Amino acid sequence: MQNIRRRALLGTLLAAPALAQPNWPVRPIRAIISFPPGGAIDTVMRLIGPAMAEALGQPVVLENRPGAAGSIAAGAVAAAPADGYTWLCDSSSHATAPHLIRNLSFRYETAFAAISHLTTVPMLLVAHPSVPAGNVAEFLALARARAAAGREMTYASGGNGSSPHYAAELFRQISGIGITHVPFRGGGPAVQALLAGTVDFHIGTAGSSAALVQEGRLKAFAVTTRERLPQFPALPTLREAGLAEYEWLEWGAMLAPAGTPAAILARVQSAARDALLLPATRERLERLGIAPVGATAEATARFLDEQRALAGRVTQAASITLD
């Protein structure tokens, strides 16, 4: 009996560092970002990284690994040890990539442990000022008339499989209108095409189009979130405008390799939340059209499941590919 107890105690002592790791962190932490410098998730991490490093007592080293709809960065983190020293900082592509990319060496659904839903990025339905519609109902009527005449309205996106592509396809699926996708190499060229009037409309981030709307260079019809935006209190949501099931937004989240101890995930989430709530950080994010969230790991896991399911439905219905 004593030998059994000694073995059980020894097993507990050997397992304790892996499960609890009370001294974590004892070395710098890598935060691998799925997109190039300048994107929303990169901007967020550069804002909150220093405060998180101070709270955790170790440097947070940011590393951009863009490409393949974020799957290059995701693959690197999926293969990393589950010890809390490697984080994935990803965007909405975390929900769409599993439906767009085949033969990955990992499964998005099981390879990661959620840390925090960091931010949301509301989007606006905007059009060139020449589009003869004053609200969503008139916009939809115009789209139906144009489609019936064989001249579907065109919309710009930053490329096949991009978040604006998904936003517009969900809009099409719920409204039932006929529209034609015109993909560009990035959000900047898409907005420039809209400003030039070579396409009719675009669903893009508030940060990329709010100033253009305020200057009168673009016309805004609605926001894609469930609640109105403080910058545009008179602008309805698409739900309010009659598309009761509509919601699409861009977002940023932080994840770790599956199996990372829950105590570490909780410490990182707490540090991220506190960094997001700093007044200077909140003010800077709001100017960029980004809303801080800082959700718990449990809430984030549910959110990611919902987003993957929604992306899967849109992908299948629209036959979206990266080609």
- Determine contact, residues 271/298, Cβ cutoff 8 Å: no
Whether the predicted pLDDT of 16 surpasses 50: no
- Determine contact, residues 123/95, Cβ cutoff 8 Å: no
Interaxial angle between packed helices 262-276 and 297-318, expressed in degrees from 0 to 180 and rounded to the nearest 10:
80
Whether the predicted pLDDT of 4 surpasses 80: no
Q: What is the mean pLDDT of residues 141-147?
A: 98
The H or E element containing residue 10 is: helix 2-19
pLDDT for res 207: 87
Q: Which two tokens stand for residue 52?
A: 């998180």
For the chain, the helix, strand and coil percentages under 3-state DSSP, each to the nearest 5: 45, 20, 35
Q: pTM for this one?
A: 0.89
- Residue ranges of alpha helices (H) inside 24-182 are 40-56, 71-78, 93-100, 136-148, 163-175
Q: What spatial distance separates the first Cα and last Cα of the chain, rounded to whole Å?
A: 65
Whether the predicted pLDDT of 10 surpasses 60: no
Whether the predicted pLDDT of 312 surpasses 50: yes
DSSP conformational letter for 86: E
DSSP conformational letter for 246: -
Instruction: Summarize pLDDT for 67-106 with one digit per residue, the tens.
Output: 999 999 999 999 999 999 999 999 999 999 999 998 999 9
Q: What is the mean pLDDT of residues 172-182?
A: 97
Distance between CA atoms of residues 199 and 231, nearest Å = 25
Reported confidence tier of residue 186, pLDDT bands at 50, 70, 90: confident
CB atoms within 10 A of CB 177: 18
Q: What is the mean pLDDT of residues 14-27?
A: 65
Q: Would the CATH topology of 29-120+249-318 be identical to that of 123-223?
A: yes
Domain 29-120+249-318: assigned CATH number: 3.40.190.150
pLDDT for res 21: 59
DSSP conformational letter for 291: E
32 class by beta-carbon count within 10 Å (0-12 exposed, 13-18 middle, 19+ buried): buried
Query: What is the DSSP pairing of strand 153-157 with strand 201-205?
Result: parallel
pLDDT for res 322: 87
Whether the predicted pLDDT of 9 surpasses 50: no
Instruction: Summarize pLDDT for 121-131 with one digit per residue, the tens.
Output: 999 999 999 99
Q: What is the mean pLDDT of residues 40-49?
A: 96
Instruction: Summarize pLDDT for 236-292 with one digit per residue, the tens.
Output: 999 999 999 999 999 999 999 999 999 999 999 999 999 999 999 999 999 898 999
The H or E element containing residue 201 is: strand 201-205
Tell me the domain boundaries of the chain.
Answer: 29-120+249-318, 123-223
Q: What is the mean pLDDT of residues 200-226?
A: 94
Q: Does domain 123-223 have CATH number 3.40.190.10?
A: yes
